[in-house]
Amino acid sequence: MQTEQELKELVKEKYGEIALQNKETNQASCCGAGGCSTDVYNIMTDDYSNLEGYNPDADLGLGCGLPTQFAKIKQGDTVVDLGSGAGNDCFVARKEAGENGTIIGVDFTPAMVERARINAEKLGFKNVEFRQGDIENMPLASNVADVVVSNCVLNLVPNKDGVFKEILRTLKPGGHFSISDIVLVGNLPDRLKQAAEMYAGCVSGAIQKEVYLELIKANGFTNITLQKEKPIIIPDDILKNYLSESEIESFKNSDTGIFSITVYAEKPVNGKSCCGPECCN
């Protein structure tokens, strides 16, 4: 069993490699609908190309949803993107927040931060910045963000509870988040859970959907809303790296499901998360 720090270093190493590649290279082994991808990092991605603010140079095909599409960003908002990668969601968020908004991307991998900064400089964006840091201990002051977004990142973090605590801390009272992530229904086979490559590809680091939603509630967020949900199908040529043919068949016929969800929730204005007699009228 790897420690939390070892898992973090794994993520930093893998995504440092990806930061030096382009989207086409990352997806070179992906055969689209035929399901013959050998690249676990991009089997979950959604198409950003129709969103305003989209920049192809910033899209490495690593997401599992379109959280900025659902994030209710307004002109002038301060938006924080957790696990900002090459800047894809930040640039879409900037289109929504406008030139008077402030966009801050936070990423654990120095190579990703450097690539995002180069992309922002090429675009001439003065109100988009990227900071290297751990989202369990964000390099941000408290109560600064109107909106927090994140795309397929929390599943890479061992201490998800710590991240939700940091999101609550950095959001302004009344602020909200929209996060796309990978969750499970049922239990993955042990060898998938233990596979380091699958962890870096977002799957084996995922937790149960009910546990994920309960973490959000337990940290005091309100108006928790499931904005989108879609099943994730792992192609056979990925599964065969970890499971026998009989195990693959058993896995496919089980009740276990892997899903991409996009979740919305708000930080209470008064700092209280309930509405019983002891909280509010």
For residue 161, tell me if it sits in a domain.
yes
166: enclosing H helix or E strand: helix 160-170
Distance CA 253, CA 55 (A): 40
Distance CA 224, CA 157 (A): 21
For residue 281, tell me if it sits in a domain.
no
Distance CA 155, CA 180 (A): 10
For residue 278, tell me if it sits in a domain.
no
In the three-class reduction of DSSP (H, G, I as helix; E, B as strand; rest coil), residue 222 is classed as strand
For residue 271, tell me if it sits in a domain.
no
Query: How large is the greatest C-alpha to C-alpha distance in the chain, in angstroms?
Result: 58
Would you write out the chain's pLDDT as a tens digit for each of its 281 residues? 456 665 555 555 555 555 556 554 544 433 232 333 445 545 667 778 788 998 888 887 777 889 999 999 999 999 999 999 999 999 999 999 999 999 999 998 899 999 999 999 999 999 999 999 999 999 999 999 999 999 988 888 889 999 999 999 999 999 999 999 989 888 877 777 665 455 445 565 778 999 999 999 999 999 999 999 998 887 787 788 878 898 888 888 888 888 889 999 999 998 554 444 333 33
**Structure tokens that stand for 84 in this block:** 């900002």
Choose among 67, 68, 58, 122: nearest CA to 97. Answer: 68
For residue 204, tell me if it sits in a domain.
yes
Distance CA 274, CA 97 (A): 30
Instruction: Print the SS3 string covering 5-16.
Output: HHHHHHHHHHHH
Contacts of 136 (CB under 8 A, 6+ apart): 157, 159, 162, 163, 166
Contacts of 190 (CB under 8 A, 6+ apart): none
For residue 279, tell me if it sits in a domain.
no
For residue 280, tell me if it sits in a domain.
no
Number of structural domains (the chain) is 1
Give me the CATH number covering residue 201: 3.40.50.150
For residue 274, tell me if it sits in a domain.
no
* pTM score of the predicted model: 0.81
* pLDDT computed for residue 63 by the predictor: 79
